[in-house]
A and B are shown apart, each in its own frame.
Chain A
Amino acid sequence: QSVLTQPPSVSAAPGQKVTISCSGSNSNIGNNYVSWYQQLPGTAPKLLIYDNNKRPSGIPDRFSGSKSGTSATLGITGLQTGDEAYYYCGTWDSSLSDVVFGGGTKLTVL
């Protein structure tokens, strides 16, 4: 059971927009920055978003992050078949003194 809750799967058609939610509590998302990762099959995770809404260089602006209270959201617009992957949210948990991740969301681009 993950500390952060993500939907197991989401799907949308090519060109459409999808959002992936990440729900936590005051000890983690509520008071700490959130990161988002994309993991393509058989590869290492890739940082998409850090500090809630910042994109590392090279990450297209199709990917966006937001946070409100104890929840965070990853948005992906202009979906491509190459976006099919698992997506993970992560943050620091001040009560646990630990990094916590969501269980991951599988994105299917139909």
Chain B
Amino acid sequence: EVLLVQSGAEVKEPGESLKISCKGSGYRFSTYWIGWVRQMPGKGLEWMGIIYPRDSDTRYSPSFQGQVTISADESINTAYLQWSSLKASDTAMYYCARRLGYCTSTCPPDFDYWGQGTLVTVSS
């Protein structure tokens, strides 16, 4: 069974750093792209970026480039999303998801398995 299990909810203050995780199991982790999707409270889906764990090829949405860092450690089947300095506007649910196929010059959002989500709350 394919599973993506994300780390637990976080409550942080503005300016703090944070790294959340997404651990895959039940499939060959290194050969599937893992994407991150943000959903702000009561809002829609926003694609943040995606990584191929085998070679760490990473693509970012222009909206999130420079704002977050996506990484992966294929030895422990885990992908990460991190912030160096959180803002209140980063308060959201963050999902990781496995992409069906390989990203080429395009990377449509074909995510067949999703994590349960990590709720990040940033408040002073």
Interface residues of chain A, those whose CB is within 8 Å of chain B, are: 2, 32-35, 37, 44-47, 50-51, 56, 88, 90-92, 94, 96-104
Beta-carbon contact of A35 and B109 below 8 Å:
yes
Give Cα A101–Cα B63 distance, bound, in whole angstroms. Answer: 13
Please state if B114 and A45 are interface contacts (CB–CB under 8 Å).
yes
Q: Report how far A47 CA is from B106 CA in the complex, Å.
A: 18
Q: Which chain A residue has the least Cβ–Cβ distance from B95?
A: A44
Q: Which residue of B lies closest to A2 (CB)?
A: B44
Taking the closest CB of chain A, its distance from the CB of B32, in whole angstroms, is 14
Residues of B within 8 A of A101 (CB): 44-47, 109
- B10 cross-chain contacts in A, Cβ below 8 A: none
CB distance from A100 to the nearest CB of B (A): 8
Inter-chain pairs besides A45-B37, A91-B109, 8 sampled, C-beta below 8 Å = A35-B108, A37-B45, A47-B110, A50-B108, A90-B108, A92-B107, A99-B47, A99-B107
Residues on B lying within 8 angstroms of A by beta carbon are 37, 44-47, 61-63, 95, 97, 100, 106-112, 114-117
Is the CB–CB distance between B45 and A94 below 8 Å? no
Q: Which residues of B contact A90 (CB under 8 A)?
A: 45, 47, 108-109
CB distance from A43 to the nearest CB of B (A): 8
A37 to B39, CA, bound (A): 14
In the complex, chain A residues whose CB is within 8 Å of the CB of B46: 101
CB distance from A59 to the nearest CB of B (A): 10
Contact of A44 among B61, B108, B117 (CB under 8 A): B117
How far is the CB of B112 from the nearest CB of chain A, in Å? 5
Can you give 16 A-B contacts (C-beta < 8 A)?
A: A2-B44, A44-B117, A45-B37, A46-B114, A47-B111, A50-B112, A51-B110, A90-B108, A90-B109, A92-B106, A92-B107, A92-B108, A98-B63, A99-B61, A101-B44, A101-B45
Smallest CB-CB separation from B113: which chain A residue?
A: A47
- Which residues on the A side are within 8 Å of B108 (C-beta)? 32-35, 50-51, 90-92, 99
Contact of A50 among B61, B97, B100, B116 (CB under 8 A): B100
Q: State the Cβ distance, B117 to closest chain A Cβ, in Å.
A: 6
